[in-house]
């Protein structure tokens, strides 16, 4: 990690600056995490940012809210989702490894995934309850197959072929209910 390379991006132009994480378990490197450079609600619905790899202007906490300590795992997720998705605060992705993310903590513990899901649902209901009926669709948008279909859609000939195959398959399936 070379944090000196990050300092030049902390010039006040962006309220949130984030980068990559090295995932480490018991001081042994596991893998790198590369968040996307363009963040969206779908990204936060399916994932998040590592707060350890993020620099946040202090004024944002004072403007909106500090991490909600009643959440054991999702307090940073709430803040990022709110500040970036809802309030559209300017952010910047820097393709640098900023932290070693310790995989032995509570947020990485598989046995705590249900608590994390519960906290995230509470946060979603608190901030974007008007999207509640769409939550299952958002889960689908993060699926690898859906991403592949959206990628194919960008290529005219491949998209026509896929649509033709889907029409054939749909012919043999029961009619959809609206």
The answer as to whether 137 is a domain residue is no
Confidence check: pLDDT of 64 > 90: yes
Domain boundary among 131, 154, 170: 131
The answer as to whether 136 is a domain residue is no
pLDDT tens for each residue of 92-113: 999 998 888 887 766 666 667 8
Confidence check: pLDDT of 121 > 90: no
Whole-Å CA distances, 140 to 34, 84, 130, 145, 149: 21, 22, 18, 9, 12
pLDDT of residue 31: 82
Query: Are 31 and 52 part of one and the same domain?
Result: yes
Please say whether the dihedral angle defined by the alpha carbons of residues 32, 78, 76 and 26, taken in this order, is positive or negative. negative
The answer as to whether 138 is a domain residue is no
The answer as to whether 160 is a domain residue is yes
Query: Are 158 and 90 part of one and the same domain?
Result: no
The answer as to whether 172 is a domain residue is yes
pLDDT tens for each residue of 124-177: 889 888 877 777 677 776 677 878 888 888 999 988 988 888 888 888 888 877
Query: Are 24 and 46 part of one and the same domain?
Result: yes
Q: Domain total for the chain? A: 2
- Structure tokens that stand for 68 in this block: 């909600």
Domain residue limits at 174: 143-178
10 Å CB burial of residue 127 (0-12, 13-18, 19+) is: middle
Query: Are 93 and 162 part of one and the same domain?
Result: no
CATH number at residue 24: 3.90.550.10
Query: Are 80 and 164 part of one and the same domain?
Result: no
Confidence check: pLDDT of 83 > 80: yes
Confidence check: pLDDT of 25 > 90: no
pLDDT of residue 103: 76
C-alpha span between 98 and 84 (Å, rounded) = 20
Query: Are 95 and 147 part of one and the same domain?
Result: no
pLDDT tens for each residue of 34-62: 999 999 888 888 888 988 899 999 999 99
pLDDT of residue 107: 67
Distance spanning both ends of the chain, measured CA to CA:
52
């Amino acid at each position: 990690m070379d944090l000196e390379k990050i300092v030049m991006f902390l010039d006040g132009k962006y309220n949130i600056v984030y980068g990559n994480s090295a995932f480490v378990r018991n001081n042994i490197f596991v893998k790198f995490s590369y968040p996307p450079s363009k963040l969206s609600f779908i990204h936060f619905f399916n994932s998040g940012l590592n707060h350890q790899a993020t620099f946040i202007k202090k004024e944002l906490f004072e403007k909106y809210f500090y991490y909600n300590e009643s959440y054991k795992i999702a307090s940073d997720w709430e803040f990022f989702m709110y500040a970036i998705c809802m309030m559209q605060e300017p952010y910047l992705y820097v393709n640098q490894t900023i932290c070693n993310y310790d995989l032995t903590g509570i947020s990485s513990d598989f046995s705590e995934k249900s608590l994390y899901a519960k906290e995230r649902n509470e946060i979603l209901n608190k901030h974007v309850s008007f999207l509640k009926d769409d939550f299952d669709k958002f889960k689908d948008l993060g699926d690898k197959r859906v991403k592949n279909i959206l990628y194919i859609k960008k290529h005219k000939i491949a998209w026509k072929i896929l649509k033709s195959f889907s029409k054939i398959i749909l012919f043999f399936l029961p009619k959809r209910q609206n």
